[in-house]
Amino acid sequence: MKAVRIHQFGGPEVLQYEDVPDPLPRKDQVLVRVRACAMNHLDLWVRKGLPGVTLPHILGSDVAGEVAEVGEYVSGLKTGQRVLIAPMHFCGHCAKCLAGVQNLCPEFTVLGYLVDGGDCELIAVPETNVIPIPDSLDFNQAASVPLVFLTGWHMLVGRAGLRQGQTVLVLGGSSGVGTAAIQIAKLFHCRVITTAGDEQKLAKAASLGADFGIDHYKQKISDEVRKISDKEGVDIVVEHVGAATWEESLKSLKGGGTLVTCGATTGPSVGLDLRHLFARQLTLLGSYMGTMGELHEVLGHIFAGRLKPVVDSVFPLSKVREAHEYLEKSHMFGKVVLNP
């Protein structure tokens, strides 16, 4: 089969579109023919070099395709079925997995990070990770769903305890997680403020339900939040940008507010004045992916049309270097998808 692999860490030039052996699925696995694999910033970070990655390595976390072959022990799926793949690896038998919190499994990792991913023509995964999709979703849409909607749902619902009528600030509303978080917050009838780098992206965020937009290049986020909220601040900040927005995110919270973070795109080192933390009684939460139960829960809303995937652009898998360059420039609104 054809696949994109890295044999060394570096820029887009290290991405090699090449022939590799077809995977040999175990008896409890499903072989999926990949029709679409959506990109994430994780692809960029792994390509540049992260601890624990074994080379050569196949990137790609978000996969949609067709069942090509089912193992002898697989009973719930059939050849030709249209599916997406849960973008995670876990052992399935430890105490955390059996308790339904797979993202706390000692073996937990994201597909395409410490295990080979979906930037290829065929991938073998456990049956539990393979989820049938309705005809209403094409493969590019389906691939644009799993990681970002699971991440957004776990952040807002699982960790921050989102309630109807709250005010939510979503940083980076044009990103995959941002487009998902805006929609999830609106599903709970919340007031949503988001940020983006230009008017066009802010207009697209408004079309997803954002009530207010802030141009983070031209406006100071916390000042604008105070104006919008009549100096009160927001209940929840969805933070995944990191160092560049951390201080503004904290200033945007109301007393007793919650900041939940899942990433550090602009850097992981941030400052924190503990006096503000305890005096304002703030809550700071970390969030990493989500559970299989949460994935099925948010997919129910996707399949019913209440939440919608956002596809920015599609590249052939053979043009993966161009896709990486495009993603690094942050031109996109929503997901960038690769098609084998």
pLDDT in tens, 167-220: 999 999 999 999 999 999 999 999 999 999 999 999 999 999 999 999 999 999
Residue 265 pLDDT greater than 90, yes or no:
no
Residues 109 and 158 in one domain: no
Let me know if residue 156 belongs to a domain: yes
pLDDT given at position 225:
98
What is the domain extent for residue 20? 2-145+309-339
Residues 100 and 46 in one domain: yes
Residues 92 and 114 in one domain: yes
Asked if 162 and 225 count as a contact pair (C-beta separation under 8 A), the reply is: no
Q: How many domains does the chain have?
A: 2
Residues 160 and 124 in one domain: no
Angle of the 292-303 helix axis to the 146-153 helix axis, nearest 10: 110
Asked if 183 and 157 count as a contact pair (C-beta separation under 8 A), the reply is: no
Let me know if residue 300 belongs to a domain: no
Let me know if residue 296 belongs to a domain: no
Confidence tier at 102 by pLDDT (50, 70, 90): very high
Confidence tier at 324 by pLDDT (50, 70, 90): very high
Assessment of whether the complete model's pTM goes beyond 0.85: yes
Region 212-229: what's the mean pLDDT? 96
Confidence tier at 331 by pLDDT (50, 70, 90): confident
Let me know if residue 53 belongs to a domain: yes
Residue 35 pLDDT greater than 90, yes or no:
yes
Asked if 299 and 307 count as a contact pair (C-beta separation under 8 A), the reply is: no
21 CB-near residues (< 8 Å, 6+ apart): 1
Region 18-28: what's the mean pLDDT? 97
Residue 129 pLDDT greater than 90, yes or no:
yes
Residue 252 pLDDT greater than 90, yes or no:
yes
Confidence tier at 266 by pLDDT (50, 70, 90): confident
Let me know if residue 293 belongs to a domain: no
**Average pLDDT score over the chain:** 97
The three state secondary structure string of the chain is CEEEEECCCCCHHHEEEEECCCCCCCCCEEEEEEEEEECCHHHHHHHHCCCCCCCCEECCCEEEEEEEEECCCCCCCCCCCEEEECCEECCCCCHHHHCCCHHHCCCCEEECCCECCCCECEEEEEHHHEEECCCCCCHHHHHCCHHHHHHHHHHHHHHCCCCCCCEEEECCCCCHHHHHHHHHHHHCCCEEEEEECCHHHHHHHHHCCCCEEEECCCCCHHHHHHHHCCCCCEEEEEECCCCCCHHHHHHHEEEEEEEEECCCCCCCCCCCCHHHHHHCCCEEEECCCCCHHHHHHHHHHHHCCCCCCCEEEEEEHHHHHHHHHHHHCCCCCCEEEEEC
CATH of the domain at 227: 3.90.180.10
Residues 138 and 268 in one domain: no
pLDDT given at position 279:
97
Amino acid at position 252, single letter: S
Let me know if residue 297 belongs to a domain: no
Residues 24 and 66 in one domain: yes
- Indicate the length of the chain as a whole number: 340
Residues 25 and 125 in one domain: yes
Residues 257 and 314 in one domain: no
